[in-house]
């Protein structure tokens, strides 16, 4: 499929910004419109180097006026915009339903009204729920068993996306990506939180015994997978995107501390996350069969990411100095 004018919602966030950078180099002729509300996680610095090559609209996907304005004349929309952090969804689930569920519905309606050719929903492997105690790798045909307000809201959004495909003939595709890391990631998810804490000689808080496992994938690979599914994915289909990695929290902490030359004593085992999912793992064979080839193994991707945080201290120091970050650190971690 060919596209000319493409809307990227949430393009000022972590994976959205990585996608915008990827798309501008893969499709230099594209007109890219970024629609982003600029919540605590949105940061225009992530797009600074390409601002003159894109159109930026500050707006809310859950606001029909903003959604229709952004989608006017567009061929495709990629919906990255979301509340994305599990711990925050335990503190304030309403925001997750508003953006992830209602916002996706408003965007679907706007896509239908504006005659957008293709709608790509950026979803997550967390919709499958916890695979702890099995050696199963989730398949696209597996049932949804979301267990956190975040994953429940993303599962709800997916149901609406597929329903719009069936009920209204909208051309929809869905990606279910695994845990992602790389440049521009807000320092609340484990990898950027641990890198920046370590750089400040602060403890690395491991939930429970730190044995929970994730399939960490570099943001470049997540972006290339999404782009491939946009172009080659079958209408009404979902595609898992993962790196075929199984890495525990303790392994993440050890790798970061070793790379930065910091002592293992910075590891601190803290009260577990309520409802903690102990294992996610997807089988990405369906996306690989479309021709998806990943660039990064974890060790190489992590070293490059650590280098990025070392070279971009001002970026994360500004983010960490803001009240939204400090209040998460206090409310969530203090006394844990």
Q: How far is the CB of 266 from ligand NAD (least distance, A)?
A: 23
Comparing CB distances to ligand TYD, the nearer of 129 and 249 is: 249
Active site residue 150: yes
Q: How far is the CB of 290 from ligand TYD (least distance, A)?
A: 25
Coil/strand/helix, residue 179: coil
Active site residue 126: yes
- Reference 230, options 302, 175, 276; nearest CA is 175
Of ligand TYD, ligand NAD, none, which one does residue 6 interact with (CB within 5 to 8 Å by kind)? none
Site for ligand NAD in 20-49 (CB under 6 A): 35-39, 41-42
Measuring CA to CA, how many Å separate 260 from each of 173, 193, 270, 307?
40, 14, 22, 10
Decide if residue 9 touches ligand NAD (CB under 6 A).
Answer: yes
Decide if residue 118 touches ligand NAD (CB under 6 A).
Answer: no
Q: Which of 150, 184, 186, 309 is catalytic?
A: 150
Q: How far is the CB of 8 from ligand TYD (least distance, A)?
A: 21
Say how many CA atoms lie within 13 Å of 182 toward its Cβ: 23
Coil/strand/helix, residue 123: strand
Instruction: Let me know: does 197 contact 261? Beta carbons within 8 Å.
Output: no
Residue 188 C-alpha from the chain's centroid: 12
- DSSP H helices, 141-207, are 149-168, 190-199
Distance CA 182, CA 144 (A): 27
Decide if residue 180 touches ligand NAD (CB under 6 A).
Answer: yes
Q: How far is the CB of 159 from ligand TYD (least distance, A)?
A: 20
Sign of torsion over alpha carbons 43, 48, 49, 55: positive
Sign of torsion over alpha carbons 72, 33, 185, 175: positive
Select from 8, 32, 76, 82 the one that contacts ligand NAD (CB under 6 A).
82
Of ligand NAD, ligand TYD, none, which one does residue 228 interact with (CB within 5 to 8 Å by kind)? none
Of ligand TYD, ligand NAD, none, which one does residue 107 interact with (CB within 5 to 8 Å by kind)? none
Distance CA 60, CA 68 (A): 11
Of ligand NAD, ligand TYD, none, which one does residue 69 interact with (CB within 5 to 8 Å by kind)? none
Structure tokens at 263: 């002592």
Structure tokens at 119: 């709608």
Comparing CB distances to ligand TYD, the nearer of 146 and 233 is: 146
Interface residues with ligand TYD (CB under 6 A) are: 86, 179, 189-190, 193, 205-207, 210, 212, 214, 249, 273
Site for ligand NAD in 254-313 (CB under 6 A): none
- Reference 137, options 245, 274, 260; nearest CA is 245
Q: Output the residue with the shortest Cβ distance to ligand NAD.
A: 13
Distance CA 83, CA 298 (A): 25
Binding site for ligand NAD (CB under 6 A): 9-10, 12-16, 35-39, 41-42, 60-62, 80-82, 84, 99, 103, 122, 124, 154, 177, 179-180, 186, 189
Catalytic residues: 125-126, 150
């Amino acid at each position: 499929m060919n596209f000319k004018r493409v809307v990227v919602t949430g393009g000022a966030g972590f994976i959205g910004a990585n996608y915008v950078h990827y798309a501008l180099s893969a499709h230099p002729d594209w007109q890219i419109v970024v629609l982003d509300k600029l919540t605590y996680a949105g940061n225009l610095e992530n797009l600074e180097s390409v601002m003159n090559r894109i159109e930026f609209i500050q707006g809310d996907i859950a606001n029909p006026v903003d959604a229709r304005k952004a989608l006017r004349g567009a061929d495709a929309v990629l919906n990255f915009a979301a509340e994305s952090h599990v711990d925050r969804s335990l503190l304030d689930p309403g925001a997750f339903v508003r953006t992830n569920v209602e916002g996706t519905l408003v965007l679907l309606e706007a896509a239908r009204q504006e005659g957008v050719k293709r709608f790509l929903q950026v979803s997550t492997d967390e919709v499958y729920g916890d695979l702890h105690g099995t050696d199963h790798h989730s398949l696209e045909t597996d049932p949804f068993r979301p267990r956190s307000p975040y994953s429940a809201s993303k599962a709800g959004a997916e149901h609406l996306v597929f329903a719009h495909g069936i009920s209204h003939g909208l051309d929809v595709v869905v990606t279910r990506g695994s845990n992602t890391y790389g440049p521009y990631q807000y320092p609340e998810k484990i990898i950027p939180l641990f890198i920046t804490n370590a750089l400040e000689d602060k403890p690395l808080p491991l939930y429970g015994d730190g044995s929970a496992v994730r399939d960490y994938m570099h943001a470049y690979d997540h972006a290339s997978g999404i782009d491939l599914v946009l172009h080659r994915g079958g209408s009404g289909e979902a595609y898992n995107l993962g790196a075929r990695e199984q890495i525990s929290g303790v392994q993440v902490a050890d790798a970061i501390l070793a790379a930065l030359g910091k002592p293992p004593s910075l590891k601190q085992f803290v009260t577990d996350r309520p409802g903690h999912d102990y294992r996610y793992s997807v089988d990405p064979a369906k996306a690989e069969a479309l021709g998806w080839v990943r660039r990064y193994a974890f060790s190489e991707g992590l070293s490059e990411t650590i280098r990025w945080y070392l070279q971009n201290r001002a970026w994360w120091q500004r983010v960490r100095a803001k009240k939204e970050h400090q209040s998460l650190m206090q409310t969530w971690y203090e006394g844990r």
